[in-house]
A and B are shown apart, each in its own frame.
Chain A
Amino acid sequence: MATETPPLRRTPLYERHVALGAKIVPFAGYEMPIQYEGIVAEHRAVRGSAGLFDLSHMGEFFFTGTGARGAVDRLVSSDVAGLARGQARYGLLCNERGTIVDDVIVYRTGEAEYMMVVNAANIAKDRAHLLHHLTDDVTFDDRSTGTALVAVQGPRAAGILATSTKDAVGSLPSFGVTPARVAGVKATVARTGYTGEDGFEVFVASADAQHVWDALLAAGRDAGIKPVGLGARDTLRLEARFSLYGNEIDETTDPIEAGLGWTCKLDKEFIGRDRIGAKKARGPTRKIAGLVVDEGVARHGHEVTSAGEVVGRVTSGTYGPTVDKNIALAYVPTALSKVGTALAVRIRGKDVPATVVKTPFYRRPE
């Protein structure tokens, strides 16, 4: 019997990806580009110049009304109530058990308007979770389908974006957000990203996505901008030690063991706070550690061993093109998570030596 799977969706930039020679794969219910020229070349473009990403599959939720500020603050682990207009913050949606429903960025886009960007794979789940907790003085609007998101990331991103807008996006601080016109169309521009580089995320109406994509590619041509697929997005975020939902974090993991305690403002009310606070006081029994693996690439699901005993599991692993090392994140017992600890990753039945290292694996030069 064939199981019924919903048909894959396409972002408004699908034809652009095909025309640029992308390899297309299913991801979070969408047909998305995994690579164009190649993962390493795209990765290096972002570190050295700029890359352009289609992130239109991600979800955008809007909260408006007099109760919006308080409501979003109770739903998200970080200090959303403290956001001034034009500021954004990373945070977590947690459940009552204190485990992680999703990781999100909340943008205060108006006096009483907040935009929450969520992972594509979690849109339906998050919507149900949020609606369950919302009160009547908040209007919730899921604009995921009508909103496209194009990110330009890398040291040349600010210069490239500046040639496509009259608004002063270059003076936008990190995690700042502002309305702007980009390539002549109405946009929301934020200085946020998932690559470890400076960069911007440009939210536009789906109908304008192709126009903005083309304009930014053209504006970046001399700088060597490249379109970047999900493959390099993953190597870039892993070098920068950003968590990926479904790998490092999910509903079986809590923020403390995931190394995301810094996103939890424990002196305010939010869903899951009490359990997370107790976990912090007790101390986690396991933690995410950064590993450098001697030879061979550690992958999601590989076992981590110590003296031949299985002690943990790799959540993400790859070859990091900029650090030129095989890097991984793994849950290991707290006692084995200290920098310098010698462990091993079981790759194809062989225990390959690995060392716990400081993260992020890559930090951009000042």
Chain B
Amino acid sequence: MSTVPDDLRYSKEHEWVRADGDVATIGITHFAQEQLGDVVFVELPEKGSTVRQFSSLGVVESVKAASDIYAPLSGEVIERNVKVIEKPELVNTEPYGNGWMIKVRLADKGELNQLLSPSDYRSHIGETAGAGGD
């Protein structure tokens, strides 16, 4: 698994987005979970609520500290990952898989252009391009 998969878009606050039509799946990156350490609690918005781009959508707590999760995109929450609420360690073990947070119906697909490409995100976290995998 690459630490920065090529098929996703990223925010500077270390969230990732997988866009599929007008639905986007949102999670936090490998880099973010590594900085946080052992995640023990995840707080996510209710289904049906709306989130606004670059505003707080929820919280992840590790043993060490609490951190806000910021919405990389605006829209309506159509699903939240119940598994990650029950098993917060999924954020550490599968940040791009079963550790996803919410699915959002996009309000404005144009907002995707304000996110970082994989290579821009790699430079943002100081990872050299192409250095994949662990």
Footprint of B on A, CB under 8 Å? 34-35, 38-40, 231, 235, 295-297, 299, 318-319, 321, 326, 348
Given A39-B63, A297-B41, 4 new contacts (CB under 8 A): A39-B37, A40-B63, A231-B37, A318-B63
Among A39, A231, A296, A297, find the residue whose CB has the most chain B CB atoms closer than 10 A: A297
Ordered by A's residue number, 30 sampled pairs between the chains whose C-beta atoms are within 8 Å are A34-B64, A35-B37, A38-B38, A39-B37, A39-B63, A39-B64, A40-B38, A40-B63, A231-B37, A231-B63, A231-B64, A295-B43, A296-B41, A296-B43, A296-B59, A297-B40, A297-B41, A297-B61, A297-B66, A299-B65, A299-B66, A318-B63, A319-B38, A319-B40, A319-B41, A319-B63, A326-B40, A326-B41, A348-B59, A348-B66
Q: Is the interface of A mostly helix, strand, loop or mixed?
A: mixed
Assembled-state Cα–Cα distance A34/B38 (Å): 13
Residues from chain A with Cβ under 8 Å of B40 in the complex? 297, 319, 326
Footprint of A on B, CB under 8 Å? 37-38, 40-41, 43, 59, 61, 63-66
- Nearest Cβ on chain B to A55's Cβ, whole angstroms: 20
Residues from chain A with Cβ under 8 Å of B38 in the complex? 38-40, 319, 321
Nearest B residue (CB) for A318: B63
Residues from chain B with Cβ under 8 Å of A299 in the complex? 65-66
Residues from chain B with Cβ under 8 Å of A326 in the complex? 40-41
The 7 closest A-B pairs by CB, nearest first: A319-B40, A40-B38, A39-B63, A297-B61, A319-B63, A38-B38, A39-B38
Query: Is B63's CB under 8 angstroms from A235's CB?
Result: yes
Residues from chain A with Cβ under 8 Å of B65 in the complex? 299
Residues from chain A with Cβ under 8 Å of B43 in the complex? 295-296
- Nearest Cβ on chain A to B73's Cβ, whole angstroms: 23
Given the known A-B contacts A297-B66, A318-B63, are A38 and B41 also in contact in the complex, defined by CB atoms under 8 Å? no
Assembled-state Cα–Cα distance A12/B15 (Å): 39
Residues from chain A with Cβ under 8 Å of B59 in the complex? 296, 348
Assembled-state Cα–Cα distance A297/B62 (Å): 9
Query: Is B37's CB under 8 angstroms from A38's CB?
Result: yes
Residues from chain B with Cβ under 8 Å of A35 in the complex? 37
Assembled-state Cα–Cα distance A296/B61 (Å): 7
Residues from chain A with Cβ under 8 Å of B61 in the complex? 296-297, 319
Assembled-state Cα–Cα distance A299/B40 (Å): 13
- Nearest Cβ on chain B to A5's Cβ, whole angstroms: 22
Residues from chain A with Cβ under 8 Å of B64 in the complex? 34, 39, 231
Assembled-state Cα–Cα distance A318/B63 (Å): 6
- Nearest Cβ on chain B to A33's Cβ, whole angstroms: 13
Residues from chain B with Cβ under 8 Å of A34 in the complex? 64
- Nearest Cβ on chain A to B61's Cβ, whole angstroms: 5
Assembled-state Cα–Cα distance A299/B64 (Å): 10
Residues from chain B with Cβ under 8 Å of A319 in the complex? 38, 40-41, 61, 63
Nearest B residue (CB) for A324: B40
Assembled-state Cα–Cα distance A321/B37 (Å): 13
